[in-house]
Amino acid sequence: MPQIGTMADAVRVAYAQGEDDERMEPIVRVDGTGQPVGRIQDGDYVIFYDLRGEREVELTEVFVDPGFDHFSRPAMTVRFATLIRYHPHLEELGVRVAFPPEEGIADTLSEVVSRAGRRQIKIGESEKAIHITFFLNGKRRDPLPGEDRVVIESDHVRDYTTVPAMKAREVADAVIQALGDPGYDLVVANLANVDVVGHSENDVAIKQAVSVVDAQVGRILDAAQAAGATALVTADHGTVESWLYPDGVIDTGHTVSPVPFVLVAPVLDSATLCSDGSLIDVAPTVLQLLGVPQPALMTGQSLIAGPVPGERRRVLLLVLDGWGHNDAEYGNLIRAADTPVMDRLQREHPSTILAAAGEAVGLPAGTVGNSEVGHLHLGAGRPIYSDRVRVNRAIADSSYDENPAFLWAVRGARDAGTRLHLLGIVSFYSSHGDVAHLEALMDLAHREGVPEVYIHSMLGRRGERPESGALYIARIEDRAQTLGQQVVGVIGRFWALDREENWDRIEKTYRWLVDGLGTAVYPPDNG
């Protein structure tokens, strides 16, 4: 039913109707006659200001790839700039990148293992496959020589709490098979359940996910022992070990917690592990166990104090995505779940905890970890400054305002008398973006005199308090009104930020942006 009021008002109405930020159905600003305002049209310019980028590729392709054929759309030219590189292919199609990669990340764990002539295999389900391939390999998409990959297709569901087991057993089966092949020197696997299901308010499903992962860890480590492989069990960041804010409100986002690290090899049960390590120390530990020299660029240190017996051994690196460490009972769904395997491992084998957030993984101090930076640092073995840090520094020193990609879009829209669209997530805690980056673009467009600036906002609950999206939209609407701009659309990130080729979701987002399909919101003075 059409509504009257601000876009923030419309978001609050959606909350009252049972919707949440993550899956909010599209909302569209219309004029007094009911016509959608600020739609993306032929000749327009768009700045997609999201970070990370792996979930932003599909939506960008719809607008810039002339060969796109997953659903029909009108022929039109839309000029795109993105905050960071989402995919090299997009640049070949004319997309401008404001903050391209500074340099390739050389001498990652995978590259060093490959260069040493050792074979390796990466295993995970599709929901997290990009993390143990692209990010673990230093943002390289193609497999290295001697590297194999096994990707188990994730369930195509709207809500993973309905399938908390996900494909953990199938991933474990593939890991067990790889361990049975003596040709693999390094086996890397990711169990995705805790992170994926953990971004929900369903504590029953989350505890089931934790217990499923725990059980599969047991199966995998039994196979590793039978194969004579040394196992390293760790995680990329925390999630559900701090599931509640102090006031009892559910926190569905990532955390600043450290993560566990367990060394499982009977001959190393007397080993001493360092107590002040971080994720950058995992790659050097793997190389030490493999008997492969650590390159000079890898500044992390092995977590094992002293030499290890044997010159060459096989290694399993098992990443329990989202499994953080927290000694407190309050809001700790890891401790609340049935986890006999991990409990036993941490009692009977050398174990420690690793920093996985903030400056330890190239993020601003106090910033929560995430899967991207977690896997990037697991592979790099040294701190890699995040794109967020680079962008924040550019805003602080005003070089953001002189960025050639931004000026191309802003001045292009101004000089052509067409529209500028600012598209992206509206959040402070999301790993996909920061509201401050949007606000800086709004200010830039105003200073450059762009006559029509429209803001299309995506919401997500991860790391935010319930119904915080309305507060962000109100904040942006107030700023936009001052600058003569408009917030013309709101949608849940579930629809807009996909990476599994769920083209029905992307089409919904496209129709929201171009056709104005969604709940109509009339201006407050309408009638």
Span 305-361, pLDDT tens digits: 888 877 678 999 999 999 999 999 999 999 999 999 999 999 999 999 999 999 999
Report pLDDT for 354. Answer: 98
Instruction: Provide the mean pLDDT of the chain.
Output: 94
**DSSP single-letter state for residue 521:** E
* Whether residue 414 has pLDDT greater than 70: yes
pLDDT tier at 527 (50, 70, 90 boundaries)?
very low
Q: Give the position of tokens 């796109």.
A: 68
What tokens appear for 419 in the block? Answer: 């529209």
d(CA 338, CA 351): 20
pLDDT of residue 311: 64
**pTM attached to this predicted model:** 0.73
| 37 SS3 class | coil
pLDDT bucket at 468, cuts 50 / 70 / 90: confident
**Residues 59-92 pLDDT 10s:** 999 999 999 999 999 999 999 999 999 999 999 9
Nearest to 263 by CA among 339, 187, 183, 318: 318
Note the pLDDT of residue 313.
Answer: 87
- Domain ranges within the chain, ordered by starting residue: 3-101+389-522, 109-383
What is the fold, at CATH topology level, of the domain defined by 109-383? Answer: Alkaline Phosphatase, subunit A (3.40.720)
CATH superfamily of 3-101+389-522: NAD(P)-binding Rossmann-like Domain (3.40.50.720)
In 337-370, where does DSSP find H-type helix?
340-348
- For position 463, what pLDDT does the model report? 65
Q: What is the pLDDT of residues 255-313, one digit of tens each?
A: 999 999 999 998 888 899 999 999 999 999 999 999 999 999 999 999 998 888 776 78
Which residues, other chains included, contact 13 with Cβ-Cβ below 8 Å and sequence gap of 6+?
3
> What span, in angstroms and rounded, lies between the C-alpha atoms of 229 and 279?
21
pLDDT score of 526: 58
The pLDDT tens digits for 376-400 are 999 999 999 888 888 999 999 999 9
Q: What single letter denotes the amino acid at residue 263?
A: L
